[in-house]
């Protein structure tokens, strides 16, 4: 509802995290293509998931598992 407020808060958080992090991490606004290019540059290998069961946790004690598929007719 108030994008200006939200972006001001994000700007403050980014500035805070960049000034206090000790792990050589830079927080910034980015596009999807910039993110993917950085991943490719680092040659990060992602695990491949072959099943459709994905556990989710809302908090420390609430976990649930559901069937998710990119093929809706398989649900």
CA gap 16, 36 in Å, rounded: 25
Distances (CA, A) of 9 to 2, 18, 21, 59: 11, 14, 18, 24
pLDDT single digits (tens) 27-52: 999 999 998 898 889 887 878 766 66
CA gap 63, 41 in Å, rounded: 35
Indicate the number of domains in the chain.
1
Q: Which of 40, 43, 9, 13 is nearest to 28 (CA)?
A: 13
Q: At residue 62, does pLDDT exceed 60?
A: yes
In this prediction, residue 13 carries a pLDDT of: 95
Q: Which of 1, 25, 5 is nearest to 14 (CA)?
A: 25
pLDDT band at residue 71 using 50, 70 and 90 as cut-offs? low
Q: What pTM was estimated for this model as a whole?
A: 0.49
Domain that holds residue 39: 3-74
């Amino acid at each position: 509802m108030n994008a200006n407020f939200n972006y001001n808060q994000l700007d403050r958080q980014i500035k805070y995290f960049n000034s206090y992090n000790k792990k050589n991490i830079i927080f910034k606004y980015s596009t999807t293509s910039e993110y993917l290019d950085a991943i490719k540059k680092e040659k990060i290998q992602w695990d491949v998931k072959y099943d459709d069961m994905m556990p989710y946790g809302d908090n420390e004690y609430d976990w649930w598992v559901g069937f998710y598929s990119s093929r809706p007719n398989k649900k």
